[in-house]
Amino acid sequence: MTADGRIVNPHGYPDELVRQSIAAALKSIAQRRSRSAKAAAETRRRRQAFKVQETARRIVAGAKLGPRPTCCICGRGIDDPQSVARGIGSECWQDVLQAIEQQQAAKLAGALP
């Protein structure tokens, strides 16, 4: 199909058949893209969750991640001084804090008889 909506049909198939085939192909492409986008979002979410856990472990172990101009979890720029010093943006910091608390609670639970 050309940009102005005409169909290129050198073999002379019935117009309706060509239009239906094009519509089916476009629908299939859109469905594949949608599936891929969902899978990519899930992969991003999983990687970020892993990064949060890993970062929490490093902080508990005494690592210092800042100062830095981008969040070490999501990579976005950070500008408030507290976040820059920490190396983690305020949104991601909430997740890291939660992970630190969970890891410390798990450690405590493991240390108890």
Residue from 73, 84, 96, 99 binding Zn ion (CB under 5 A): 73
Instruction: Mark the segment that binds Zn ion (CB under 5 A) among 7-15, 29-37, 65-73, 102-110.
Output: 65-73
Residues 25, 26, 29: CA angle, nearest 5 degrees:
90
**Cβ proximity to Zn ion, 70 vs 103, nearer residue:** 70
Q: Does 87 bind Zn ion (CB under 5 A)?
A: no
**90-111: buried (b, 16+ CB within 10 Å) or exposed (e) per residue?**
eebbebbeebbeeeeeeeeeee
Residues near Zn ion (CB under 5 A) are 71, 73-74, 89, 92
